Amino acid sequence: MESLFSSALNSAIKLAKNFASNDGHETYGIPHVAIALMHESTGVTEILQSMDKDVAYVMDWFEMRREVYVGQKGGREGEGTIGDEHVHKVLEEAERSKIKLGTDYIDGVCVLMAIVRKGVVYDNNQIESLSLDENDFLRLYDSPIRSSSNLPSGEGKEQFAESINYCTNLKTQKNIDEGSL
């Protein structure tokens, strides 16, 4: 999966590992990743600014969670700092963000979008206190794929699917005749 990561995201993950290591943890978590995304040249800070979000508040929000982060302490020889279970879950969700945004690689924006997707790591109240959610990114990118609550129903749903190029390409007569997806 790491081959799908942008080089800036790989740099941010290395920085997150360094943050956790400096904190005395063997694992790094979401707070380390989020802070690293805003420190590295991932474009996340600029995106947040373009959405009129208070970047300092977002940084503080994650810094507070970093301070109370309970990762494994101590040292296992040669293994290095590894991501915790939430990091693995977010990186899997970031692939969905990549698809929704239509990007070629999983980048920092995809990861932050996955972090603030309700229920992935943080609950609704926590996300509301952050004042940032997945739909903010979708609106900014004017993505044709919206959250399921925004999808039309009935006939409108089929017209919506046909308006998305890859759905139209998949629904060709040749594919229908061959029974292919």
Q: Which of 136, 34, 56 is nearest to 128 (CA)?
A: 136
Is the pLDDT higher at 142 or at 33? Answer: 33
Q: Is the pLDDT of residue 84 over 70?
A: yes
Cβ proximity of 21 and 106 under 8 Å: no
- 94-118 confidence digits (pLDDT tens): 999 999 998 899 999 999 999 999 9
Residues in CB range of 29: below 8 A, 6 or more apart: 20, 66, 69, 71, 83, 84, 86, 87
Predicted structure pTM score: 0.74
Instruction: Tell me how far apart the alpha carbons of residues 97 and 91 are, in angstroms, rounded to a whole number.
Output: 10
Instruction: Tell me how far apart the alpha carbons of residues 117 and 124 are, in angstroms, rounded to a whole number.
Output: 9
Instruction: Tell me how far apart the alpha carbons of residues 161 and 26 are, in angstroms, rounded to a whole number.
Output: 45
> Residue 41, SS3?
coil
